[in-house]
A and B are shown apart, each in its own frame.
Chain A
Amino acid sequence: MDLSVHLPNLLGAAATSLLICSLSLLMAASLSFGAGVALFAGPAWLRAIAFAYVEIFRGTSLLVQLFWLYFALPLLGISLPPFLTGVLALGLNTGAYGAEVVRGALRSVSQQQHEAARALNFTRNQTLWRIVLPQSLVEMLPSFSSLAVQNLKDTSLVSMITIADLTFKAQEIRNLTQDTVAVYGTALLIYFAMAMSIVALMRILETRVARSTGRLS
């Protein structure tokens, strides 16, 4: 493989992968907090919806969900562009896993914190948003970090629905040059570097949050 010719192509495609990853992570983060808080403290009907969402998306395979949104949804009259389909599938899937993380972290905050808040005459909402959630944030971040890496790895599946991400481009260049080891090896290394950057970024975030909640000085 002539690196000088193909590397820029691969890096450009990696940018697409990163874009899909960040957009779906944004969506996943809001879904995680929405569904996670709903599961923890929502009214019964909302809890039921959140429960169904989490179980359905955790219970089936991501590739099946992706294909379902891409092939089956148009038959119900809803046609989305591939890019949006990819972001939607990834966001919904990661969001379901994230919701479990949020719920678990919220539950891990000790009962005494709830009692203390009650004693200080905090309302239920104030207790949730000002006492419980900030403390549970520290617990969530390590799991969010691995979910973010998982999300990045899962973006490679969107190449199956014709999005020109890193995997798609690597396939294209391999077919052109027939140099499997170099092309796929480079693509794997780019993925590895991106994953490592996510891990590093999340670690910085972890220390900052730990410091701001008084866990670290």
Chain B
Amino acid sequence: MILGHELVMSSSAAFAWSILPILLIGLRTTLLAMFAGFVIAVVVGMVFALMRRSQWKIVTWPVGFVVEFLRNTPLLMQLFFLYFVLPEFGVTLPAFWTGTTVLGLQYAAYMSEVYRAGLDALPKGQWEAATALNLSKTRTYRTVVLPQMIPRVLPALGNYLISMMKDTPVLSTITVVEMLNLANRIGDRTFEYLVPLSLVGAIFFVLTCVCSALLRGLERFVPQKGIALR
């Protein structure tokens, strides 16, 4: 019995069928971690990108270092660091949220580069026109810059979403109960790793295919000239 589900060991197929509901419980955590991490990454990445465009070196330099550091160190190590350091400062988060935060931060660093490229790709005339129209800085970003930037950055953000999904199994190392964690637990109980691990691989494969198909559809759906934000 794992999470209230009986394990049937009579044959490989029956075994696979009996552990599928258990793995699907883990799948929910996997998807939650992916989406929560994605939201963090999209927002924090934008903050990083905007801060790197600041005119003060005292802002751009530290942010630049943080971004480079997050991009160039292993997710697993960052995960351990935060998981053990946060409690020392009196912050106790559930493992899931520590994991999602770390995942989100690493991808925020990646995404800030995407945003930066997106911002740089915007023709200079757009900024000048916004200045000529006397738009405030927030208004310029909200009504001129972001609507044109979104279609440009969307494919890259989508690819990162899929990468994030494939990185969620790393969260199992800090006791987040997602698919891989459950598969290992089933393996430890039954000494039968082949079926659960292969099944997890297959589920990931299907998810990747579904996600990339959905994203390709979304890219076609989004108007290339930009989205009006109101």
Interface residues of A (CB under 8 A from B): 55-56, 58-65, 67-68, 71-72, 75-76, 149, 152-157, 159-160, 167, 170-171, 174, 180-181, 184-185, 187-188, 191-192, 195-196, 199
Contacts and interface: CB of A to CB of B under 8 A. Distances in A.
Interface residues of B, number: 37
Contacts, number: 108
7 closest pairs, A vs B, by CB?
A: A156-B74, A195-B72, A71-B193, A153-B74, A63-B169, A180-B84, A59-B205
Given A60-B166, A61-B165, A153-B73, 10 more contacts: A61-B169, A64-B200, A64-B204, A71-B184, A76-B194, A149-B72, A159-B76, A180-B88, A188-B69, A191-B74
A187 B85 CA distance: 14
Contact of A154 (B69, B74, B169, B184): B74
B78 A188 contact: yes
B161 interface: no
| B interface majority secondary structure | helix
Given A149-B72, A156-B74, A192-B72, A61 B85 contact: no
A75 B192 contact: yes
A60 B84 contact: no
Contacts of B208: 58-60
15 contacts: A59-B205, A59-B209, A60-B201, A61-B165, A61-B167, A61-B169, A61-B180, A61-B201, A63-B180, A71-B184, A72-B197, A156-B76, A188-B78, A191-B72, A192-B72
Given A61-B167, A76-B194, A153 B75 contact: yes
| A interface majority secondary structure | helix
B118 interface: no
B229 interface: no
Contacts of B170: 63, 157
Contacts of A76: 194
A56 B205 contact: yes
A91 B80 CA distance: 25
